[in-house]
């Protein structure tokens, strides 16, 4: 290991979590003291409205291995996580939530599984999700759609979780430069043979109510939803092409004075163009999201 480079970077996106931050910090420190590995702890405050930033500043005063980042505007959990990864130095990167629902002791389990396999990224999948009903339903539906309809090649990987460990080379070159276009949540870009998952504990929320509204859930799953829509639109385009071919053949077999096949062909062509435009819009939005733009208001090392 290079001198001064931590073995692990633990990235924690923060939003209105003033009540849990001190306990989370102590638990993570206990985990790494037990395995005698160096680590840095990176908190990214996604423009909280409570005292989270004040608490983080207090935590930082007493610890040299803690980095704290304040985003200028609320950008969502995905962006907060990625901004923390961009500032990391660890040879492996771990992401975990701020709400203590994933017990910090499960970090040991995911590290051990990662080290005993040749995966570049491992997801800690809750055996039983203790999220709210809306969150659980969306997660289960999205997981089923990707596993059996949209991304069958990745079906064995349970990647609908915010708890994960990954190799640094996913995002950075050997010279420590960011690899352009790499996005943590565009898992369809990754080789499934380099991805793994295991079951971890997931506990009930200990203090605050969930920060996940319907709008925030949409923002959180937006890349997956757009990719799903893009693939489904592609399937529909293929169906329209088949229908167009059938209609063209049928038009050669009906009387010349019949307008039905021509009208049907024109209608199908219009549907095809509409689907094409919608698919293009999804592709453009995915390109925009891949850039992950954010502004850091303050960071303290």
**DSSP helix/strand/coil, 198:** strand
In this predicted model, what pLDDT tens digit does every residue of 9-22 receive, in sequence order?
A: 999 999 999 999 99
**Residues 83, 87: Cα–Cα separation, whole Å:** 7
Identify the DSSP state of 187: G
Q: How many angstroms separate the Cα of 76 from the Cα of each of 24, 72, 81, 212? A: 20, 12, 9, 10
Judged against a pLDDT cut of 60, whether residue 128 lies above it is answered with yes
In this predicted model, what pLDDT tens digit does every residue of 164-173 receive, in sequence order?
A: 999 999 889 8
Judged against a pLDDT cut of 90, whether residue 177 lies above it is answered with no
State the average pLDDT over residues 110-123: 95
**DSSP helix/strand/coil, 180:** coil
Q: What is the pLDDT of residue 1?
A: 42
Confidence of residue 216 (pLDDT cuts 50, 70, 90): confident
44-58, 105-119, 202-216: least confidently modelled range: 202-216
**Residues 103, 40: Cα–Cα separation, whole Å:** 18
The residues near 33 (Cβ < 8 Å, ≥ 6 apart) are none
Q: What is the pLDDT of residue 207?
A: 61
Confidence of residue 135 (pLDDT cuts 50, 70, 90): low
**DSSP helix/strand/coil, 113:** helix
**Which tokens belong to 224?**
């997956």
The residues near 255 (Cβ < 8 Å, ≥ 6 apart) are none
Judged against a pLDDT cut of 50, whether residue 294 lies above it is answered with yes
Reported as half-sphere exposure (CB side, CA atoms, 13 A), residue 179 has a value of 10
Percent composition of the chain: helix, strand, coil (DSSP 3-state, to 5): 50, 15, 35
**DSSP helix/strand/coil, 201:** coil
Q: What is the pLDDT of residue 14?
A: 96
Judged against a pLDDT cut of 60, whether residue 236 lies above it is answered with yes
Q: What is the pLDDT of residue 289?
A: 86
β-pairing, 66-71 with 8-14?
unpaired
**Which tokens belong to 282?**
């999804």
How much is the pTM? 0.83
């Amino acid at each position: 290991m290079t001198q001064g480079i931590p073995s692990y970077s633990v990235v924690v996106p923060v939003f209105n979590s003033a009540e849990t931050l001190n306990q989370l910090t102590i638990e993570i420190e206990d985990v790494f003291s037990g395995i005698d590995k160096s680590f840095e702890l990176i908190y990214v405050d996604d423009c909280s409205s409570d005292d989270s930033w004040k608490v983080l500043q207090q935590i930082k005063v007493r610890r040299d291995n803690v980095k704290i980042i304040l985003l200028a505007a609320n950008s969502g959990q995905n962006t907060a996580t990625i901004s923390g990864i961009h500032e990391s130095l660890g040879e492996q990167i771990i992401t975990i939530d701020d709400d203590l629902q994933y017990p910090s002791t499960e970090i040991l389990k995911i590290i051990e599984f990662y080290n005993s396999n040749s995966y570049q990224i491992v997801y800690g999948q809750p055996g039983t999700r203790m999220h709210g009903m809306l969150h659980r339903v969306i997660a289960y539906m999205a997981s089923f759609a990707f596993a059996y309809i949209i991304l069958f090649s990745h079906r064995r990987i349970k990647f609908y979780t915010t708890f994960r460990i990954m190799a640094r080379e996913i995002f950075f070159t050997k010279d420590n430069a960011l690899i352009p276009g790499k996005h943590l949540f565009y898992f369809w870009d990754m080789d499934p043979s380099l991805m793994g998952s295991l079951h971890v504990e997931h506990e009930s929320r200990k203090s605050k109510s969930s920060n996940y509204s319907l709008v925030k859930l949409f923002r959180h799953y937006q890349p997956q939803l757009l990719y799903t829509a893009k693939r489904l639109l592609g399937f529909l385009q293929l169906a329209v092409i088949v229908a167009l071919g059938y209609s063209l053949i049928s038009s050669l077999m009906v009387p010349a004075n019949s307008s039905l096949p021509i009208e049907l062909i024109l209608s199908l062509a219009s549907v095809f163009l509409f689907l094409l435009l919608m698919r293009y819009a999804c592709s453009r939005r995915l390109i925009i999201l891949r850039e992950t733009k954010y502004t850091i208001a303050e960071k303290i090392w």
